[in-house]
């Protein structure tokens, strides 16, 4: 468990992240009895209080952690996921575990604590040796004293110990693990008779009355949210820049001073043919892939173009139909095995087969570019714009202040822009609170909301930061919530009702044939239908050509071969009658290769489930009372 901790992984919600690695504590530290009596109480656990102060401090640390990891988190989202309740539950769980550890006599000695602290990479120097000075520096950077950190870290080690202790019995035998492996890795083929709904569509009629009734009963799905439009003025380096004022001499000097910025790496333009083969493929699968590869090479030897052979043989979805085109790429873009061969193959030639994690490749190099530098002529326009924007950035604040002064006199955005020679005011398209203006994609959710909430003809009181500059905006129009008119969705509703009616007929036909098959062994009315057999698939896969249907998959893997399943199944284009054609268990050689990974994974999962059950039992037996529910309100 301590290995997991030191690698920065997560164990049942308890996490320590070091890094620059900076220490982050998602549970409450310092919850000793001397602190518990102070302040208001949020909850009690078996009579022991969790104070409001402890809760607020822990909540603040959790929020800081969450926002460092996800800068876009909004208060609304945190409220939606009931973040405060999650934090309090963590604190309650911590208390329950520590109580149980004390009952069981599980503790951590000072020697153990010191040893584990010395192993934390954030506290080690470049020689991977514990450095007391670095230890102190990291703690100070996080406003922690050694006493606070060590008290909390000791609790964490105790909780790791009890988790390991409780999870220890959850060890599967090799036979049990093999049973799980066979269950998960077996593949099946399915035979089916298809009843596509489109075959029955001409038997369905949809009336205007039915369309109207559907519209009335589904109005919620045709609801349109409230919308708004804004006029806006962008005061940014890009909008203030005047490229025409930048001299050729300045451009040349910029280029000479930053020539490395315009360096061109060696590049290759290539095509490839991919024959897919998994890293853990069996010998049979590898031989089949080599046969396909040999067939592609034989076609090339007969004079077929590389493009035609790629279209016929490649198993790269992006290359099919494009002749295997990859375009230009530099080093570091492809996996190393592929890259090494591509850059070593002369232009116009085809490589020998290359094995990568994706399978076998044949590579045709069409052109190469030697390393060098973009010419000044090629980049002068970019440099001109860059210099102009750098210059404009220096006067950005002055332009903003002047615009705000003019607006305070009662002028609108357009008048302010004209009087100060600023860029023209733009008009946004209509937007919703959730989506924001499509012309301003970099707005944050809070910014979108504040613009949406403006009163008609009101201008923002404070400039909005945007694109290295500022945005001034006035709300010009708004539309209340409404419903899409029936005329606009009439055809869509008709198509929906047509498909629904045809599906009813498809199911009826399938069920009639199923009854006939069960009673006479033939289809109804002596008809004949094509029985199609799929490619192999596992329990986790989509059924080839039929899509995802867990009920059908589960029934199939539990049935006897060549016996029609007792019901029809709804699939992507209608209904099917289905029966198991074959089941193939994973090969012994695959088990030998995967055994260690599966044993480890299954034992970890079993241990986690056992520990979660243990926590559930602790909670069920504990006396937990939320004393101050207002503290959990948003």
CATH number at residue 54: 1.10.4030.10
Whether residues 118 and 194 fall in one domain = no
CA 236, CA 421: separation in Å to the nearest integer? 14
- Whether 45 and 11 map to the same domain: the answer is yes
Mean pLDDT estimate for the chain: 87
Residue 348 lies in a domain: yes
Q: 181 in a domain, yes or no? A: no
Residues 234-251 have pLDDT tens digits of 999 999 999 999 999 999
On whether residue 227 sits in a domain, the answer given is: no
Confidence of residue 34 (pLDDT cuts 50, 70, 90): very low
Question: Is residue 122 predicted with pLDDT exceeding 90?
Answer: no
613 vs 16, which has greater pLDDT? 613
pLDDT of 128 above 90:
no
DSSP 117-182: HHT-GGGB-TTS-B-HHHHHHHHHHTT--HHHHHHHHHHHHHHHHHHHHHHTT----HHHHHHHHH
Which residues face 451 on adjacent strands? none
Question: Between 473 and 605, where is the model more confident?
Answer: 473
Instruction: State the alpha helices, DSSP H only, in 521-622.
Output: 550-557, 588-621
d(CA 52, CA 630): 11
Residue 88 and residue 126 in contact, taking contact as beta carbons nearer than 8 Å: no
Summarize the chain as % helix, strand, coil (round to 5): 50, 20, 30
Q: How confident is the model at residue 15 (pLDDT cuts 50, 70, 90)?
A: very low
pLDDT band at 3 (very low <50, low <70, confident <90, very high): very low
Looking at the predicted structure, is the pLDDT value of residue 55 above 50? Answer: yes
pLDDT attached to residue 528: 61
pLDDT value at residue 423: 87
Give the Cα separation of 91 and 94 in Å (integer): 5
- Total domains in the chain come to 3
Least confident of 37-41, 172-176, 178-182, 402-406: 37-41
The DSSP code for 547 is B
pLDDT at 611 over 50: yes
Q: Do 160 and 192 fall into the same domain? A: no
Residue 391 has pLDDT above 70, yes or no: yes
**479, part of any domain:** no
pLDDT confidence of residue 16: 28
Query: Does a structural domain hold residue 481?
Result: no
Question: Mean pLDDT, to the nearest integer, of 257-273?
Answer: 91
The residue written with tokens 């923002």 in the block is 460
Which range (33-47, 150-164, 333-347, 619-633) has the least confidence?
33-47
Q: Report DSSP letters for 248-271, one per residue.
A: HHHHHHHHHHTGGGGEE--EEEEE
pLDDT score of 470: 94
Domain match, 273 and 193 both: no
Specify the range with the lowest mean pLDDT, choosing from 71-75, 259-263, 303-307.
71-75
Are 12 and 120 members of one domain? yes
Both 196 and 139 in a single domain?
A: no
Domain that holds residue 565: 188-201+489-584
Q: Are residues 196 and 144 in the same domain?
A: no
Average pLDDT over residues 284-305: 91
pLDDT band at 200, cuts 50/70/90?
A: very high
pLDDT value at residue 526 = 57
Same domain, residue pair 17 and 163: yes
Inform me whether the pLDDT recorded for 27 exceeds 70: no
Query: What is the pLDDT averaged over residues 329-352?
Result: 93
Poorest-pLDDT segment among 30-44, 133-147, 585-599: 30-44
CATH of the domain at 345: 3.10.50.40
134 and 195 together in one domain: no
pLDDT of residue 255: 93
Listed range (275-284, 376-385, 475-484, 508-517) with the worst mean pLDDT: 275-284
What tokens appear for 42 in the block? 């949020």
The verdict on pTM exceeding 0.85 is no
């Amino acid at each position: 468990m301590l290995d997991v901790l030191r690698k920065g992984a997560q164990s049942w919600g308890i996490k320590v992240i070091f890094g620059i690695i900076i220490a982050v504590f998602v549970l409450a530290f310092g919850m000793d009895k001397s602190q518990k009596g102070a302040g208001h109480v949020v909850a009690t656990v078996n009579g022991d209080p969790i104070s409001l102060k402890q809760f607020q401090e822990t909540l603040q640390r959790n929020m800081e952690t969450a926002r460092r990891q996800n800068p876009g988190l909004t208060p609304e989202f945190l409220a939606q996921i009931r973040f405060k309740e999650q934090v309090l539950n963590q604190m309650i769980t911590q208390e329950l575990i520590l109580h149980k550890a004390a009952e069981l006599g599980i503790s951590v000695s000072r020697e153990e604590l010191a040893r584990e602290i010395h192993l934390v990479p954030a506290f080690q120097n470049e020689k991977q040796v514990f450095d007391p000075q670095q230890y102190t520096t990291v703690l100070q950077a996080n406003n922690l004293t050694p006493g606070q950190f060590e008290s909390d870290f000791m609790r964490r080690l105790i909780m790791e110990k009890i988790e390991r202790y409780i999870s220890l019995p959850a060890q599967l035998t090799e036979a049990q693990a093999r049973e799980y492996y066979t269950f998960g890795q077996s593949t099946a083929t399915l035979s089916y008779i298809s009843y596509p709904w489109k075959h029955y569509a001409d038997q369905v009629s949809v009336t205007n009355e039915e369309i109207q009734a559907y519209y009335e009963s589904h109005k919620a799905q045709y609801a349109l949210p409230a919308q708004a439009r804004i006029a806006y003025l962008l005061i940014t380096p890009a909008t203030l820049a005047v490229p025409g004022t930048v001299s050729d001499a300045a451009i040349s000097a910029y280029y000479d001073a930053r020539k490395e910025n315009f360096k061109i790496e060696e590049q290759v333009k290539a095509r490839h043919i991919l024959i897919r083969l998994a890293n853990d493929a069996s010998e049979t699968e590898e031989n089949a892939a080599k046969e396909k590869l040999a067939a592609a090479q034989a076609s090339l030897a007969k004079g077929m173009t590389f493009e035609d052979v790629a279209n016929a043989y490649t198993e790269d979805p992006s290359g099919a139909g494009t002749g295997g085109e990859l375009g230009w790429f530099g080093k570091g873009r492809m996996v190393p095995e592929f890259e090494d061969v591509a850059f070593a193959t002369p232009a116009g030639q085809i490589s020998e087969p290359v094995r990568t994690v994706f399978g076998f490749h044949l590579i045709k190099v069409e052109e190469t570019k030697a390393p060098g530098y973009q010419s000044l002529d090629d980049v002068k326009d970019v440099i001109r714009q860059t210099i102009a924007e750098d210059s404009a950035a220096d006067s950005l604040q002055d332009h903003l202040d002047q615009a705000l002064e003019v607006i305070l006199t009662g002028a609108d955005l357009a008048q302010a822009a004209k009087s100060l020679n600023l860029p023209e005011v733009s008009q946004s398209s209509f937007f919703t609170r959730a989506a924001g203006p499509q012309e301003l994609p970099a707005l944050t959710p809070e910014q979108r909301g504040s613009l949406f909430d403006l009163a008609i003809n009101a201008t923002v009181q404070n400039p909005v930061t945007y694109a290295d500059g500022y945005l001034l905006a006035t709300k010009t129009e708004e539309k209340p919530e409404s419903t899409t008119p029936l005329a606009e969705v009439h055809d869509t509703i008709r198509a929906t009702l047509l498909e629904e009616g045809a599906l009813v007929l498809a199911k009826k036909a399938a069920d009639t044939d199923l009854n006939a098959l069960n009673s006479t062994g033939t289809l109804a009315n002596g008809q004949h239908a094509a029985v199609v057999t799929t490619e192999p698939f596992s329990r986790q896969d989509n059924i080839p050509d039929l899509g995802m249907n867990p009920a059908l998959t589960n029934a199939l893997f539990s049935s006897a071969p060549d016996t029609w399943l007792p019901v029809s199944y709804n699939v992507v284009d209608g209904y099917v009658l289905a029966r198991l054609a074959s089941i193939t268990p994973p090969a012994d050689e695959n088990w030998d290769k995967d055994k260690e990974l599966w044993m480890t994974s299954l034992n970890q999962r079993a241990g986690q489930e056992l520990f979660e059950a243990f926590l559930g039992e602790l909670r069920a037996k504990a006396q937990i009372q939320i004393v101050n529910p207002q503290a959990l309100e948003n």
